[in-house]
A and B are shown apart, each in its own frame.
Chain A
Amino acid sequence: MDCKIRITGLNMDYTGSEEGESSLRVLSDVNLEVFENEFVSLLGPSGCGKSTLLRLIAGLEHDYEGEILLGGINPRHKRVPVCYMLQKDCLMPWRSMLSNVLLPIEIKKGDLKKAREEIKPLVQEFGLSGFENYRPRQLSGGMRQRAALLRTYLMDGEIMLLDEPFGSLDEITRMQMQDWLISVWEKHRKTVLFVTHDIDEAIYLSDRVVVLSDRPGTVNGVVQIDFERPRKRDMILTPQFSEYKKDILSLLASFPAW
């Protein structure tokens, strides 16, 4: 299997904006590999640098030590297209849902007319048909999230970086969205790096769960999830699930020695 994301010895500091202000170490010696068509979750306490790590992988910031390779290419030297969904949905309020979703194609100067036809089944699959001309504020939270996900899906990259896509949703909607995401993913298969701080969500969705420590974030451990696919909700109630959960909790609690 191809290694799609390889991170070795990554250190990252945020230098204070004012002179003399001490810098803040956000990530420390992060090592991580994600393979082709793998669904990996990144789990860690708030502020441990998960979003920062995703920004680095997406090539939005270059001020770090260590090496990031995306399919063998260093994004420092060459832009690697990725599908990236930020923690905020970043839908443009003045655009309709559909033109928000088609933004990646518009930017690439692709054929919008053709794309509009082509994505019809996808709009259906993402549960958005009939709402093409709605403004984001007229959509429910779950729909906004799905629209942002569809837009992310249309950015052509082999790697999908999802930053807490369901973090802002209520419990019920979040469970529906998880079920839906897992069914879509099992059908389309892409390499996914999924940030969350919901342990159940991480276990339910992933092939592997990478547990990060408190800031400065470093990999505390990795839990392999061997549930078969397609995943089913009732797996949550099995003893095996509790076992995984226990492993993850103990990894979350074990801070690295100074």
Chain B
Amino acid sequence: MKKSESTGKKSKERKLKLKIMPVAVALAFIVLWQLAVDIFDIEAFILPGPVNILRSLYKERELLLSHALVTLGEAFAGFGIAVVAGICFGLLMGFCEPVRIALYPIFVVSQTIPLIVLAPLFAVWFGFGFLPKVIIIVLVCFFPIAVTFAQDLLKVDEDMDFMLRVMGAGRWKSFVLARIPKALPGLFSGLKIAATYSIMGAVISEWVGAKKGLGIFMTRAMTSFRTAALFADVVLIVVLSLGLYKLIELIEKKIINHADI
């Protein structure tokens, strides 16, 4: 008993250490950055210091927020559609061999088309509004979801299959009872990747042209040499991506217990 208690304590300490170490390194980096900017007197339009960036973040907060809401709206819409479509196609490819054989290579090849090339094309077709952004986000997010899910669905545990068949379960029943639960961790790792892609996809598609959004804010800040504002924008993008990632992680923890897979 005593032993397990002490090891439990140790593992807790270790976990804390694992969390603190990267934060400490990041903080050290930020401090160094600020010092370097101050000591070498670097011009703010070339490299603003962290303090400067924070100040800019605060000063532009209302403008940034209104832009962020537009970007978030696009990201949510695109991600939402991609989740539904990705899960459907993942299931389809995992269950029907012919569908998988027909679609899988196409999906993989489609990933070699760089998103940045598509953005102007969609701008030509659909203008600078909401729709082309959503389409791009759907395209970026769909692939990791559908493919990671399908891959895990295709892993066969032959003995489990045998046992279920003896109990009289058909193909679909085995799929639902054994394959899907087993593939859920794969699905969630795809969802987490897609979540971070969604904000990035929105920003990149806004570069090409948009009325509002963090991407257009970024290009404006850049062309007017407001480098601190540009950094503030980047910080916000990072925070949003991380937030979305954490949200998915939270849902994952609610739904599956990883010790059980």
Taking Cβ atoms with an 8 Å cutoff, the residues of A that contact B are 55, 58-60, 79, 81-82, 84, 86-88, 90, 92-94, 103-104, 107-108, 135, 137, 155
Contact A137 B260 (CB under 8 A): yes
Contact B181 A84 (CB under 8 A): no
Query: Looking at chain B's contact residues, is the secondary structure mostly helix, strand, loop, or mixed?
Result: helix
Contact A86 B159 (CB under 8 A): yes
Taking CB as reference atom, which chain B residue is nearest A108?
A: B168
Known interface pairs A94-B256, A135-B260, A137-B259; A55-B162 also in contact (CB < 8 Å):
yes
Contact A90 B159 (CB under 8 A): yes
Taking CB as reference atom, which chain B residue is nearest A148?
A: B163
B-side interface size class? 20 to 34
**B251 contacts the other chain (CB 8 A):** no
In angstroms, Cα B169 to Cα A48, docked, is 29
Contact B166 A82 (CB under 8 A): yes
Bitwise, B159-182 to A at CB < 8 A (1) or not (0) is 110111111110001000110011
Contact A84 B166 (CB under 8 A): yes
Among A58, A92, A135, chain B packs the most CB atoms within 10 A around the CB of A92
Residue of B163, B166, B177, B260 touching A93 (CB-CB under 8 A): B260
**B257 contacts the other chain (CB 8 A):** yes
Q: Which residues of A contact B166 (CB under 8 A)?
A: 58-60, 82, 84, 155
Among A93, A107, A108, A155, chain B packs the most CB atoms within 10 A around the CB of A107
Taking CB as reference atom, which chain A residue is nearest B165?
A: A60
Q: Which residues of B contact A104 (CB under 8 A)?
A: 167-168
Among B162, B166, B256, chain A packs the most CB atoms within 10 A around the CB of B166
Contact B260 A81 (CB under 8 A): no
Residue of B157, B162, B177 touching A60 (CB-CB under 8 A): B162
Among B168, B177, B259, B261, chain A packs the most CB atoms within 10 A around the CB of B168
Contact A88 B159 (CB under 8 A): yes
Residue of A60, A81, A135 touching B168 (CB-CB under 8 A): A81
Taking CB as reference atom, which chain A residue is nearest B178?
A: A92
Among B157, B160, B162, chain A packs the most CB atoms within 10 A around the CB of B162
Starting from the known contacts A58-B166, A92-B181, A94-B181, 17 additional A-B residue pairs (CB-CB under 8 Å) come to A59-B166, A60-B166, A81-B168, A82-B166, A84-B163, A84-B166, A86-B162, A87-B159, A90-B157, A90-B159, A103-B177, A107-B164, A107-B167, A107-B177, A108-B167, A108-B168, A155-B166
Subset of 11 A-B contacts with CB under 8 Å = A58-B166, A60-B162, A60-B166, A90-B160, A92-B181, A93-B261, A94-B257, A103-B177, A107-B164, A108-B168, A137-B260
Contact B260 A94 (CB under 8 A): yes
Q: Which residues of A contact B167 (CB under 8 A)?
A: 103-104, 107-108, 155
Q: Which residues of A contact B163 (CB under 8 A)?
A: 84, 86, 90
Which 7 pairs, one residue from A and one from B, show the smallest C-beta to C-beta distance?
A94-B260, A84-B166, A90-B163, A104-B167, A107-B167, A107-B169, A93-B260
Taking CB as reference atom, which chain A residue is nearest B174?
A: A107
Contact A79 B168 (CB under 8 A): yes
Taking CB as reference atom, which chain B residue is nearest A58?
A: B166
CB distance from A154 to the nearest CB of B (A): 9
Contact B173 A107 (CB under 8 A): yes
Q: Which residues of A contact B173 (CB under 8 A)?
A: 107
Q: Which residues of B contact A60 (CB under 8 A)?
A: 162, 165-166
Bitwise, B162-205 to A at CB < 8 A (1) or not (0) is 11111111000100011001100000000000000000000000
In angstroms, Cα B158 to Cα A55, docked, is 12
In angstroms, Cα B164 to Cα A148, docked, is 13
Bitwise, B53-68 to A at CB < 8 A (1) or not (0) is 0000000000000000
Among A55, A84, A90, A103, chain B packs the most CB atoms within 10 A around the CB of A90
Taking CB as reference atom, which chain B residue is nearest A138?
A: B259
CB distance from A78 to the nearest CB of B (A): 13
Taking CB as reference atom, which chain A residue is nearest B166?
A: A84
Q: Which residues of B contact A88 (CB under 8 A)?
A: 159
CB distance from A216 to the nearest CB of B (A): 22
In angstroms, Cα B183 to Cα A229, docked, is 48
Q: Which residues of B contact A155 (CB under 8 A)?
A: 166-167
In angstroms, Cα B157 to Cα A87, docked, is 13
